[in-house]
Amino acid sequence: MLRVILHRIAGAVPVVLLVTLITFGLMRLIPGDVSAALGGVSSTPEQREQIRHNLGLDRPYYVQLVRWYADLARGDLGRSIFLGKGVTESTFERLPVSLSLSAYSLIITLLLGIVSGILAALRQNSWVDQAAMIFAMIGISLPNFWLGLMMIVLFSVHLGWLPTGGYVPFQEDFLGWLRTTTMPAISLALLQVGLLARITRSTMLEVLRQDYVRTARAKGLPNYLVVWKHALANALIPIVTVVGIIVSLLISGAVVTETVFSIPGVGQLLTSAILNRDYPMIQGGLLFVALLLVGINILVDIAYAWLDPRVRYDGG
Amino acid sequence: MAESAASLEGVASHGPPAARASRRWETGGRLLRHRSFQIGLGLFLLVALAAVFVPMLSGVDPNKLSMRTRFEPPGSEFLFGTDNFGRSQLSRVVHGARLSLVIGSWVVILNAVFGTLLGALSGYFRRLDNPLMRLNDALMAFPAILLALGVTAVLGRSIPNVILALAIVYLPRTARIVRASVLVLRQTEFVQAAIAAGAGHWRILRRHILPNAMAPVIVQLSFLFAYAVLTEATLSFLGLGAEPPTPTWGNIMAEGRNYMREAPWIIAIPGGALAITVLALNLLGDGLRDVLDPRLKIQQ
């Protein structure tokens, strides 16, 4: 097991290096002059020179690159121009908000997705199956920000049940947190619910056809034991591998959902950075999210090896 | 040598031309009988025909302001209502549809060409595989929307830049699928036979491997079209797509956010059109996958 973990971490090193290089390169690809964009059209050449100097852009590329890695090694992602604070600091400040929303959404995804997928597989081709698959199809096709907006129109503007946006930390007021995060979490979850339901259904169908399931039935085990113990345990293995994809989609979706519901999370931080052309913040934020995902994928792979002895003994 | 390579051609493309043509008809027929494919095709044609013909027939300028007709609800005079500037929403939504479909098509074309090229090179030439796939992994480490946002933020907002950003974001995903097929096909007997017969790399790739690797690519491109349309709308909703007043589904919805109480249709209709388009493409993709590549049905 330890070998699998080490192997997987070592495998991620080139990816991490490339990710840092891509983020570094991306910000140097900006056509024209960053300082003109940041200083505004009325800025004087001296002001622009000062901006370039402050960002270290007046140095040769290799010096910039060395400084980039030196700063990264200290966990320093630069300073946000608009917030006047460190990128790492502002990201970590907002992180709990995004994490609580994503966790809520992930719980909805796992519950609805796996349960509806199993039900559909157990009653293949029945109306339950068809209803679940139509629901899943709608889930993967509805744009999450549109769904969010329509929920605001219905539940906030017309019915006045829930606030149109904002965020209350759950440690302060749990009910307030539920009131502000339920609509965003649902609109964020729907795509992943659809994907997960479809994947769960097809893996369950495949597993239910296996010999060991037939054996379990033949030896007279009650149906629920066959389904929950024999079939689901094996169907979960491929499902775990898609959790990485699901988390990636959650983070992507959260960028938009946080903007729709005015939730002060990392996604909103990044969107406003992009709209304000706050380049250090964009660079740092992109890298932060990418590294987070690389880390999550390593964890997923380790979980996969832990669940599936075949992977473990082959050395991953 | 050349002769033996030529005679192997028939093996690679499964039988004489007449049989191939009839198989093509058969596949087409099976697609047209597939339920999801039928619904998807119908919905997609509906959107595409509206995008092409409604602006031609009605001739209403999507940017014509008219303060007298602000916030007209959908009705007989304005089928989709009007917005805060009294502009016809029907006209704006169908112009948005044009743009969505054009951007989606370009992303699909760029992916079909460069994704296939990169995937084929990576799967066929062992030496290229490792560096290309590491680069792929690194690009795929970024969530799609964030990378697209980052690239458009860097390049500046314009329609070609949005196309470029979306193509870059989805290219690694397409290349990976092509590579997987090429890796398998490379080991098959007919490819080994072609190598033994002395066929060149280019010829083997073009005549023997790629034609047989196309099924999963076509399926992927159909889903890719859906993602591209959806991500484009998201970008322009966030303010990074085509510049207003050019109507896109995303920026119409972004403007409509300020009038959710007075005129919810400004958001509801373009979003509905977007949902129908994405649904249509997903259904088409499902149908294509079931018919062209039944293996995937089990995996996914």
Give φ, ψ of A117 to 5 degrees.
-65, -40
Integer Cα distance of A43 and A48 in angstroms: 7
Give the per-residue pLDDT at A38. 67
> Once rounded to an integer, what is the mean pLDDT over residues A160-188?
83
Q: What is the pTM of this model?
A: 0.83
Give the integer Cα–Cα distance in Å for A191 and A109.
Answer: 9
Q: How confident is the model at residue B135 (pLDDT cuts 50, 70, 90)?
A: confident
Does the predicted interface ipTM exceed a cut of 0.95?
no
What is the rounded distance in angstroms from the CA atom of residue B83 to the CA atom of residue B104?
26
Q: Which tens digits make up the pLDDT trace of A213-232?
A: 888 888 888 888 888 778 88
A81 CB near a chain B CB, below 8 Å?
no
3-class DSSP state for residue A68? helix
Give, in degrees to the nearest 5, the angle at Cα B37 between B32 and B38.
Answer: 65
Tokens of B215: 């099924």
Summarised one tens digit per residue, pLDDT across range A91-126 is: 888 888 888 899 899 999 989 998 898 888 888 888
pLDDT of A316 above 50: no
The values of phi and psi at residue B270, to 5°, are: -60, -35
How many cross-chain Cβ pairs, A to B, lie less than 8 Å apart?
A: 128
Contact present, B8 and B193 (Cβ < 8 Å): yes
pLDDT at B109 over 90: yes
Q: What share of chain B is helix, strand, coil (3-state, %, to 5)?
A: 80, 0, 20
Q: What is the dihedral of CA B47, B48, B52, B55, to 10 degrees?
A: 10
Least confident residue range of A36-40, A190-194, B58-62: A36-40
Q: Judged by CB atoms within 8 Å, which residues 159-188 of B form the interface with A?
A: none
Nearby residues of B80 by Cβ (< 8 Å), 6 or more positions away: B74, B88, B89, B90, B93, B265, B269
CB contact under 8 A, A137 and B279: yes
Helices (H), chain A: 2-28, 34-39, 45-55, 61-73, 87-122, 127-141, 144-151, 174-208, 211-218, 223-225, 232-260, 266-275, 279-307, 309-313
List, for residues B216-246, the tens digit of each pLDDT value.
888 889 889 999 999 999 989 888 888 877 8
Between the two ends of chain B, the Cα-to-Cα distance in Å is 43
Cis bond upstream, residue B245 (ω within 30): yes
Residues of B in contact with A274 (CB under 8 A): 149-150, 153, 238, 240
In the predicted structure, residue B100 carries a pLDDT above the cut 80: yes
CA A251 to chain centre: 3
The Cα A166–Cα A188 span in angstroms is 16
Residue from the list A18, A253, A271 with its beta carbon closest to the beta carbon of B138: A18
Are B150 and A274 inside 8 Å of each other by CB?
A: yes
Q: Does the beta carbon of A286 lie under 8 angstroms from any beta carbon of chain B?
A: yes
How far apart are the C-alpha atoms of A67 and B58, rounded to whole Å? 59
- The DSSP bridge partners found for residue B82 are B88
- Say yes or no for a CB contact (<8 Å) between A31 and B156: yes
- Asked if A231 is an interface residue toward chain B (Cβ–Cβ < 8 A), one would say no
pLDDT band at B163 (very low <50, low <70, confident <90, very high): very high
**A40 pLDDT more than 70:** no
Contact B142 A19 (CB under 8 A): yes
Dig out the tokens for B100 from the structure: 């969505």
What is the average pLDDT value for chain B, to the nearest integer? 81
List B residues 223-242 in contact with A (Cβ-Cβ < 8 A): 226, 230, 233-234, 237-240
In a mutagenesis test of the B interface, which of A33, A141, A255, A278 is the best target, namely the one with the most B β-carbons within 10 Å? Answer: A141
Q: Where do we find the tokens 């799967």?
A: B123
Q: What pLDDT digit, counting tens, does each position of B19-29 carry?
A: 666 777 777 78
A210 interfacial to chain B (CB closer than 8 Å): no
